Structure 1
Amino acid sequence: METTNLTYESAYKELTEIAQEIETEAVSVDVLAEKVKRASDLIEFCQTKLRATETEVNKIIKQMENPPA
């Protein structure tokens, strides 16, 4: 999956566009599998990004609650 310079926002936007194309049947059968695969990769990227962000935020909160003595 191409993730160079990919941000959560751009991945989510592309995912939304793919979903819209599939829902409106604007995707030909010839490229449907390709679009579904790309959507799967984007979902995985977004989930990974969200988990990493959650971990980082929790770490910051924990540091704020227990400042070094």
Structure 2
Amino acid sequence: MEEPLTFEAAQQELETLLEDLEGDVTRIDDLLEKVKRARTLIDFCRIRLRQVEAATDELLDEEGEA
């Protein structure tokens, strides 16, 4: 069973993809798939950051009301 993706794992995978793309390691036949995967990981990270920001703001608002 595959473990759920974490922000840190997504960030690490993005770094690896970037290194591959910058280092001319990627075959042209694999380029589109790597770019699609990077887009998916970027979207995941953005959503996760927004979730954490919203939860943090909510907690801080609750602290101010207490």
Question: What is the TM-score when the length of structure 2 is the normalising length?
Answer: 0.95
| Paired letter, 1:42 | L
Percent of pairs identical after alignment? Answer: 34
Question: Mind listing any 5+ residue stretches in structure 2 that lack a counterpart?
Answer: none
Aligned-residue Cα RMSD (Å) equals 1.3
What do residues 9-57 of structure 1 show as CA deviations (whole Å, max 9, x unaligned)? 0000000000010000100000000000000000000000000000000
Query: Is 1:22 aligned to 2:21, yes or no?
Result: yes
Residue 8 of structure 2: aligned partner:
9
Select the structure that is richer in helix: 2
Q: Shift of the alpha carbon at 1:58?
A: 0.1
Gaps of 5+ in 1: none
Letter in 2 for 1:14: E
Task: Name the SS for the 2:54 alignment partner.
Answer: helix
Name the CA distance, whole Å, in 2 between partners of 1:19 and 1:40: 12
